[in-house]
Amino acid sequence: MPMENLEHLDPLTDADAALPSDDVRPRGGRANEIRNALQEEIETGKLPPGSALDERALAARFQVSRTPVREALQQLAARDLVRIAPRQGMSVARLSISQVRAIMETIGELEGTCAKLAARRVDDELRNRLDVSLQHCQDAAIQGGTEEYAQANAAFHEVIYVGSRNPYLADLIRNARRQIYRYRLRDFVTKAQINKSLQDHLKVARAIQDGDEAAAIHQMMLHVPSGSTGFSEFLARMPMSLFETEAGDA
């Protein structure tokens, strides 16, 4: 990381060094734990894009000195999840609208390809797993709420990832989804959104189960909002404060 990005960080004090617990951990172990905890909170939207991150407050929260907190934040910055700006402090990284559009477009294309491969390689086991996953989605739509349906939705897509029998492609989608998930938390707020998703799942699953590659990719592309299809509706649900200013807009 460029040294100028660290200029704003305050030197550690004797009081910081006296805080307990991190000195008895394996080297880097406590920093990794803090990084994992903060990464989960960022990716799930508990820490929304733009949220300020204060070293002292985090050190007090995790009951450590500021050294492992600083290491954790630097690791998150290397993963583009935290922004460290000279004289401005640290915050959860925001994406620009163009970046979000590009990631969503990529996910849509990859998901379509994944569905196509799953249809090409479908067998009785995959057909049964899709039926079970559809039932879980239906149960969550009827009896659950936003969180329950979001979990069922993720599980449905995971069945297709595995069914594609292309682990490299599946990992590309998972990693892209992790970057964008904090911007997709309002996808299943209303019953109308949940019901539409459920109907989309039925169409995607039937196409895969029938071994219809063309229908599978078509239905998945309609289901997953991309950089064009469904993007305006997605954008309308998002506060503009969550997005980074585009170059030239400042």
Residue 22 is classified by DSSP as G
Same domain (yes/no): 56, 8: yes
Is the model's pLDDT at 225 over the cut of 90? no
Residue 74 is part of a domain; what is its CATH number?
Answer: 1.10.10.10
Q: Which of 66, 93, 120 is the last residue of a domain?
A: 93
Same domain (yes/no): 209, 229: yes
Structurally, the chain folds into a number of domains equal to 2
Same domain (yes/no): 101, 140: yes
Determine if the pTM surpasses 0.85.
Answer: no
14 belongs to a structural domain: yes
Q: Which of 29, 62, 93 is the last residue of a domain?
A: 93
Residue 142 is part of a domain; what is its CATH number?
Answer: 1.20.120.530
250 belongs to a structural domain: no
Distance in angstroms (rounded) separating the CA atoms of residues 147 and 192? 15
Model confidence pLDDT, tens digit, residues 193-220 = 899 999 999 999 999 999 999 999 999 9
Same domain (yes/no): 61, 178: no
Model confidence pLDDT, tens digit, residues 2-18 = 444 444 445 444 444 44
Same domain (yes/no): 54, 159: no
Pairing mode, if any, of strands 89-92 and 82-85? antiparallel
Same domain (yes/no): 63, 181: no
3-state percent helix, strand, coil for the chain, nearest multiple of 5: 65, 5, 30
Distance in angstroms (rounded) separating the CA atoms of residues 42 and 163? 29
Same domain (yes/no): 146, 234: yes
Which residues form the domain of 112?
97-244
Same domain (yes/no): 235, 153: yes
Mean pLDDT of 60-81: 94
Model confidence pLDDT, tens digit, residues 113-131 = 999 999 999 999 999 999 9
Instruction: Pull the structure tokens for residue 218.
Output: 């078509």
Q: How confident is the model at residue 228 (pLDDT cuts 50, 70, 90)?
A: low
